Amino acid sequence: MRFTKTFTEQQYAQALDSWSWLGLDGRKPLFTSLFGDVFLAGKDGCWYLDTIEGALTRVWASADELALDLSTEQGQDRYLLGGLAAQAADRGLELGSDQVYTFMPPPVIGGGVTIESVVVESFAVAVNIAGQIHEQVRDLPPGTSVTGITLG
């Protein structure tokens, strides 16, 4: 099973528009996990946009390091959620060409990272909504009850 997908420049632009608060300038999307996490290349290495945690991290110094890491089972589970993607496929959750898996409700507002929470959604919609939610809750103290989320 292949655990990554690529999208058009327009789809990446729509999906990542709500993540500008993280400082994505100068980084170009390379590919995406089946859960909408985006791998980006910059002059200083390869970056991982974790849509569950709402974090952008420089993990790899080069594309070769990234490829090597993702060729391992540990890397696939950590960055691609490979085991969960396989379970979703086994449950009959099929992805269209413009779709990814996502969690509903999102973990950042109390949802779980479980197979029961996995749904299929448009890549651009899922990643954009995740960015909007993370921006709205990023300054809240841990444990704060979230009651109102506004989507643009």
* pLDDT digit string, tens, across residues 64-80: 999 999 999 999 999 99
- pLDDT at position 110 is 85
Candidates 69, 80, 77; CA nearest to 34 is 80
Q: How confident is the model at residue 106 (pLDDT cuts 50, 70, 90)?
A: very high
Kindly give the residue spans of alpha helices, DSSP state H, lying in 17-104. Answer: 63-70, 73-80, 82-90
* pLDDT digit string, tens, across residues 47-68: 999 999 999 999 999 999 999 9
d(CA 119, CA 125): 13
Q: What Å distances lie between residue 51 and 33, 43, 108, CA to CA?
A: 10, 22, 10
